[in-house]
C-alpha cells in the first residue's frame, strides 16, 4: 500500500522563477493538504483540496496556487519565487471529506532551495 509520494525530492531555483511540486495521496485518500516548513519551524498550512476545489487556505499570498486532478493527485505552484520561499514543502492526505476528522498522512516532502 503506497503512502503519500511527492516529487521531486529536491529542487533548486532562482529568484523570480516559477515552480511546480507534485503529490500523489495515499491509496483511497481524496483530501490533499499542502504545508510549508521552514528550517527549525513547524509546518504552516498553505491550502487544502477536495473534489478538485480549494476548500481552505492559510495565510499565504496568491503566488501560491494549486490544483487537484480527478485521480486525487495534486500540484502546488509557486510564482515569482523569493528567497523566503526556501523550505520543505509537505503534502498530506486524508480519507473522506475535509471535515471527516480523519488523521493526516504525510509524504517525505520536496526540499526547495532558492538562490
Partner 1 sequence: KQEVTQIPAALSVPEGENLVLNCSFTDSAIYNLQWFRQDPGKGLTSLLLIQSSQREQTSGRLNASLDKSSGRSTLYIAASQPGDSATYLCAVRRAGNQFYFGTGTSLTVIP
List contacts with partner 1 (CB under 8 A).
Answer: 4, 6, 33, 35, 40-45, 48, 55-56, 58, 88, 90, 92, 98-99, 101, 103-109, 111
Least distance between partner 1 and beta carbon 109 (Å) = 5
Q: Is the dihedral of CA 112, 10, 37, 56 positive or negative?
A: positive
Least distance between partner 1 and beta carbon 65 (Å) = 19
Distance CA 23, CA 5 (A): 6
**Closer by beta carbon to partner 1, 43 or else 114:** 43
**Closer by beta carbon to partner 1, 9 or else 79:** 9
Report whether the peptide linkage leading into residue 26 is cis, meaning its omega lies within 30 degrees of zero: no
Least distance between partner 1 and beta carbon 42 (Å) = 3
| All three cell numbers of 99 | 471535515
Least distance between partner 1 and beta carbon 80 (Å) = 25
Question: Alpha helices of the chain — where are they, by DSSP H?
Answer: none
Distance CA 56, CA 49 (A): 7
**Closer by beta carbon to partner 1, 24 or else 48:** 48
Amino acid at each position: 500500500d503506497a503512502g503519500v509520494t511527492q516529487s521531486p525530492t529536491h529542487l533548486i531555483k532562482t529568484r523570480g522563477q516559477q515552480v511546480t511540486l507534485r503529490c500523489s495521496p495515499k491509496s483511497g485518500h481524496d483530501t490533499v493538504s499542502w504545508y510549508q516548513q521552514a528550517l527549525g519551524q513547524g509546518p504552516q498550512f498553505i491550502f487544502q483540496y477536495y473534489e478538485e476545489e480549494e476548500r481552505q487556505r492559510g495565510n499565504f499570498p496568491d503566488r501560491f496556487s494549486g490544483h487537484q486532478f480527478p485521480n486525487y493527485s495534486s500540484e502546488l505552484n509557486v510564482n515569482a519565487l523569493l528567497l523566503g520561499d526556501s523550505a520543505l514543502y509537505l503534502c498530506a492526505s486524508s480519507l473522506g471529506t475535509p471535515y471527516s476528522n480523519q488523521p493526516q498522512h504525510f509524504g517525505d516532502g520536496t526540499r526547495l532551495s532558492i538562490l
